[in-house]
Structure 1
């Protein structure tokens, strides 16, 4: 009876060793034939956040529209809603509108949002600030 587990163990160890292929080193391609595997996408331009309108008084700017960002905590087991994540998503949306600044109106955490246990929301105006 003791021989059966030993035979099964020996069979499993030899069966696994037959699966492996012999080692073959990888040879690099010549430099002329190498091409990038994926297209490099440019990073979005950084978007500055203004919290006070007096910072914009001496700068010419154009209002591109309202932007908002949100972070949702669906259940109590999920990670909590974060204002920094909502603010970053607002900046990404503003960058897609070709804005280089956002005038922040408000950031708040709502506890009774639709479909969310807690929700962080940031709202602002996307701006194109000219450097003069």
Structure 2
């Protein structure tokens, strides 16, 4: 009886061996999403005495487009600004501020973060 159970389990599992997995996420999309991981957040105090170059101002946003969507999160706006800093070649970000706005054109509510993209010597 035990042998019959093992045989049926093996046949069932081998029947699934030809199945594939399709995703709507492209390898480029995954790479774009995770590129912000290479950008560290710094305070002015942390950058004192460290060799770095300011690459320019950068902004990131999170937007609530429809009333049935969740309100925008500051964490999403910070992730957006870090991705944009990475696009500029930065490995660091000096975050100035994140501000929440109501009734912006195109957004019911919006979180906007601004800062400076920096390249810190390693």
Q: Same fold (TM over 0.5)?
A: yes
Partner of 1:129: 120
**Is the aligned partner of 1:47 residue 2:39?**
yes
Q: Distance in 1 between matches of 2:38 and 2:97?
A: 20
Shift of 1:75: 2.5
- Structure 1: gaps (5+ residues): 1-22, 27-38
Q: When the two structures are superposed, what TM-score results if normalisation uses the length of structure 1?
A: 0.64
In terms of Rg, which structure is larger? 1
Question: Which structure features the higher share of strand residues?
Answer: 2
Q: Distance in 2 between matches of 1:40 and 1:82?
A: 26
Post-superposition CA distance 1:17-59 (Å, at most 9, x none): xxxxxx9x85xxxxxxxxxxxx965552610011x31111110
1:79-98 pair list within 5 angstroms: 79-98=70-89
Size of the aligned set, in residue pairs, is: 95
1:1-132 pair list within 5 angstroms: 26=18, 44=35, 46-50=38-42, 52-131=43-122
Q: When the two structures are superposed, what TM-score results if normalisation uses the length of structure 2?
A: 0.69
The two structures, once aligned, show a CA RMSD in angstroms of: 2.1
Change (3 A) 1:82 1:130: same
After the TM superposition, list the runs of 4 or more consecutive aligned residues in structure 1 that deviate by more than 2 angstroms: 39-45
